[in-house]
Amino acid sequence: MLCGKLTCPIIAKAQSLARTSRLIDSERIEGSTPPGVFVGRIGYPQVYIGPMVPPYFGDTEILDTPEMWVGKSINEIIDYRYSLVRGKIRARVSDAQDGTRVLDALQELAMGVHPADAEAVFTRKPNKIITLSEETQPFGPSAPLRSFKVSDVSVDQRIEKAFYDHDLKAADAVTELYDKGALVTRIQRAFSLGMFGTRPRRKLVPTRWSITAVDNILSLELMDKMKEHPTIDEYRVYSFKSLDNYYVMIMMPEKWSFEWIEAWFPGTVWNPESAGAPAMMGDFESYWGRKTYAYTGGCYYSCRLAAAEKLDQDRRQASVLVLREIHPGYILPVGVWNVRECIRTMLKTEPQKFDTFQTAINYAITKLTIPLESWIESSEMLKRALFQKKITEFVK
């Protein structure tokens, strides 16, 4: 307990690995892949790619479908990740233009809508290694891949059509698939394997990058549509708790702007000291958007997607402020999907509605533990709402 956390993340990983280790003591793994694929980023533009296969058969879709994880415990999510054995083989990012034997099999797999039976043969037994860091997302055992076979893939015809359309730009493929109802996770999976875009421009995209790229593409598209709608006519406050994360969103009856602020409590990943004040960080964009990468990283874009999605569904626009507290029970990062899916779930609830910003913020702050003064210090939007006069106040 020297790390000061309520639960040790390394022990949590070790316990999960122990539950599956006896099933992966072989150079050959057979099982039903969710389907799952992986594109690494180390060594870019030469990266590791490969399938993710559990050592058993059945309905394994939940193992690599974050849309199904809200409400699950941290230990359950770790179990999902550690159940998947990763095969690794080197590839150039430009291989997406002409394909290779392994890449072709992975791209076929990425079109799947249901788990598919697969066999992965490795050059050695998969490493059963625990990373001695609470800052890394949970990933299962891995080994260099010798061969990979997959059978009976139920192809999503929407993704298949985009894959074979070599005149369709990647961003257009992403938005078209989303509009047709494809899961964001599946779009991201295909995007990472370089399955979209004109053939000369297709490239493999590391999984971590592809997730944020797709969130960004979709949110920009939704924002353009949402800005054509009228503003909401009251202040709306949403709140939600999950995995010892507290979320609060305030929608204001103004034209679109967006701010995301995180507060990491002592004993969490980005504030490892066991005592002191929460570490706060955030980023903001006006109606005209932003041209630089958000300081807070992928969570900013995943939240922005969920917010723009909701407003476009309601055919309204608003100024959106999102506050997140990360408490010590969040023992290790599980991925930016967590923010997107938690915000989506929160926005399905009925909001509290108010006539003034002051009453809205007074209510919102009761759902958090950090005092309002600290949020104001970190927030561009709160400063403007509380202290900056509007020209309409001078118009009689």
Per-residue model confidence as pLDDT tens digits over 71-101:
999 889 988 988 899 999 999 999 999 999 9
- Last residue of some domain: 122, 157, 192? 157
Q: Where are the alpha helices (DSSP H) in the chain?
A: 9-21, 74-82, 101-110, 157-164, 170-179, 184-192, 207-226, 298-314, 337-346, 357-364, 372-378, 380-387
Q: Is residue 4 part of a domain?
A: no
Residue 232 predicted with pLDDT over 90: yes
> What is the pLDDT, as a whole number, of residue 135?
44
- As a whole number, mean pLDDT of residues 220-241 equals 97
> What is the pLDDT, as a whole number, of residue 11?
73
> What is the pLDDT, as a whole number, of residue 37?
95
Over pLDDT 90: what percentage of the chain?
Answer: 79
Q: Is residue 253 part of a domain?
A: yes
Q: Is residue 361 part of a domain?
A: yes
Instruction: Tell me 228's DSSP state.
Output: T
> What tens digit of pLDDT does each residue of 175-201 get?
999 999 999 999 999 999 999 999 899
Instruction: Look at residue 270 and give its three-state secondary structure.
Output: coil
Residue 272 predicted with pLDDT over 90: no
Residue 134 pLDDT level (bands cut at 50, 70, 90) = very low
The answer on 266 and 368 residing in a single domain is yes
If 0-12 CB within 10 Å is exposed, 13-18 middle and 19+ buried, where does residue 73 land?
A: exposed
Residue 138 pLDDT level (bands cut at 50, 70, 90) = low
Residue 370 predicted with pLDDT over 90: yes
The answer on 353 and 240 residing in a single domain is yes
Q: Is residue 2 part of a domain?
A: no
Residue range(s) defining the domain that contains residue 293: 235-394
> What is the pLDDT, as a whole number, of residue 17?
67
> What is the pLDDT, as a whole number, of residue 152?
87
The answer on 252 and 138 residing in a single domain is no
- Last residue of some domain: 129, 157, 185? 157
Residue 389 pLDDT level (bands cut at 50, 70, 90) = low
- As a whole number, mean pLDDT of residues 353-377 equals 97
The answer on 250 and 387 residing in a single domain is yes
pTM above 0.85, yes or no: yes
Over pLDDT 70: what percentage of the chain?
Answer: 91
Residue 332 pLDDT level (bands cut at 50, 70, 90) = confident
Q: Is residue 82 part of a domain?
A: yes
> What is the pLDDT, as a whole number, of residue 133?
45
Reading the block at residue 191, the tokens are 């995007």
Q: Who has greater pLDDT, 389 or 300? A: 300
The answer on 139 and 262 residing in a single domain is no
The answer on 105 and 239 residing in a single domain is no
The answer on 239 and 382 residing in a single domain is yes
The answer on 272 and 388 residing in a single domain is yes
> What is the pLDDT, as a whole number, of residue 18?
66
- Last residue of some domain: 128, 157, 186? 157
Residue 245 predicted with pLDDT over 80: yes
Q: Is residue 49 part of a domain?
A: yes
d(CA 171, CA 162): 11
Residue 1 pLDDT level (bands cut at 50, 70, 90) = low
The answer on 263 and 145 residing in a single domain is no
Residue 22 predicted with pLDDT over 70: no
State the total domains in the chain: 2
Q: How many CB atoms lie within 10 A of CB 360?
A: 23
Residue 266 predicted with pLDDT over 80: yes
Q: Is residue 140 part of a domain?
A: yes
Q: Who has greater pLDDT, 272 or 253? A: 253
Q: Is residue 181 part of a domain?
A: no
d(CA 301, CA 284): 11
> What tens digit of pLDDT does each residue of 277-306 get?
999 999 999 999 999 999 999 999 999 999
The answer on 388 and 270 residing in a single domain is yes
Residue 391 predicted with pLDDT over 60: no
CB neighbours of 149 closer than 8 A, spacing ≥ 6? 105, 118, 119
Q: What is the mean pLDDT of the chain?
A: 91
d(CA 93, CA 378): 39
> What is the pLDDT, as a whole number, of residue 4?
58
The answer on 281 and 146 residing in a single domain is no
